[in-house]
Amino acid sequence: MKTQKKAPTLQISGLNVWYGENHILKDLTFDVLPRQVTAFIGPSNSGKTALVRCFNRLNDFTSNFKLTGEIIFNSKDIYSPKTKGSDIAKQIGMVFQHPILFRKSIYENVAYGARLQSIRPSVEQYTIVEECLKKAQLWHEVCDDLQSSPDILSNGQKQRLCVARALAADPELLIFDEPCDQLDATETPKLEAIVLSLKRQYPIIFVTNKRRQAARVSDVAGFLYCGELVEFGQTEQIFTNPKDKRTEDYVTGRLG
């Protein structure tokens, strides 16, 4: 019996991005599959953040942004005139390099995500908040402080709170944009463990400058260099048997 091939969550075809006269991304084509972590690696200014900002329409707020090509998300064209950017933002959760939290309680930060899916009753909201904090491996650390400000939390806890808030909106795709950049050696493994546990439920895109981290957390990896997707494939192959010398130079530390 043949195994049924998974339909891609994202299909990117001939993607080009400009900021003004700067050609940031050059003719990218690849798929993102469900139940996988797809990592993008590459040196600074290679286009990684510009790429993921295309997926949830954050580039719409960048002046002189221009895009050609096609991004299909669950069979919908993200940049079709019929597609609302606000709808896409609800369906794609994002955790940024720096924890971005509201000046509200720990509980309210996560409940905000639940309200994005129009969940109002307090009992149902509380259940979602608890479930999402557990998925973010934070519940037992904050369950007695839900009405406190996130200011009491460590940087790593704040980042996990951002994960919980993203989950509360019931996304169809999760993006992590260098989420461990500000975390110490004790907090980074916790977030990596969360990513590995969440991939069973969500397709995940993970951007990192850390080569070893990409090797640990991802199933598929893409190497971006000067806006070009030099190589894209199974992580093991990218790191142990790259096809392009630039990829080999990067993963071995000779480039970037």
- What are the pLDDT digits (tens) for 59-116? 999 989 999 999 999 999 999 999 998 889 889 999 999 999 999 999 999 999 888 8
What's the pTM? 0.94
- 1-17 pLDDT tens trace: 444 568 999 999 999 99
CA angle 9, 102, 169 (to 5 degrees): 30
Residue 3 covered by a domain: no
- For residue 171, what are the domain limits? 10-251
- Whether 187 and 156 have beta carbons less than 8 Å apart is answered as yes
Residue 4 forms part of a structural domain: no
Q: What digits encode the pLDDT tens for the residues 120-155? A: 668 789 999 999 999 999 999 999 999 999 999 999
Q: Does residue 48 form part of some domain?
A: yes
The DSSP bridge pattern shows strands 10-19 and 65-73 to be: antiparallel
Q: 2 and 183 in contact (C-beta within 8 Å)?
A: no
Amino acid 79: pLDDT? 95
Q: Which of 87, 242, 69 is nearest to 171 (CA)?
A: 87
Q: How far apart are CA 252 and CA 63, in angstroms?
A: 36
| CA distance linking residue 183 with residue 159, whole number of Å | 9
Is 1 within a domain?
Answer: no
Number of folded domains in the chain?
1
